[in-house]
Amino acid sequence: MLDISQLTVQAMKKQNTGGLILYNLSKQAINPGNFFGPYGLAKSSTLFLMKQYALEYGGYNIRVNGINADRIASGLLTKNLINQRASSRGISREKYLSNIYLT
């Protein structure tokens, strides 16, 4: 069975126009935190897949990258959790939320 990434690459190769595959990653893949093991495992695997596809399909002008959408207000990163994380780092909530990294 093919996954969505494989199907996307097949279509891009057939079209011969290159393209971009963008994955949603997490800092958990490179900087794990306590009690996030199952979540981190999936994100680490996605990071690996991103690197592998970049290596294998760059020659077809298919760019593969990921975004680490950390430090955004969401269902997982609640206002309370944001405030706790900012406080533990000795920075304001606004400063904490302003640091977003691309992988």
Boundaries of every domain in the chain: 1-68, 71-103
In the prediction, which pLDDT does 44 show? 93
Give buried/exposed letters for 41-73 (b at 16+ CB in 10 A, else e).
eebbebbebbeebeeebeeeebebebebebbee
Residue 85's pLDDT band (cuts 50, 70, 90): confident
Please give the residue that has the higher pLDDT: either 77 or 11. 11
In the prediction, which pLDDT does 101 show? 56
The Cα 76–Cα 17 span in angstroms is 37
Residue with tokens 């309370």: 80
The structure's pTM equals: 0.72
* Over residues 39-49, mean pLDDT: 92
Residue 103 clears pLDDT 50, i.e. is over it: no
Q: Which of 17-26, 68-77, 89-98 is predicted most confidently?
A: 17-26
Supply the mean pLDDT for the chain: 87
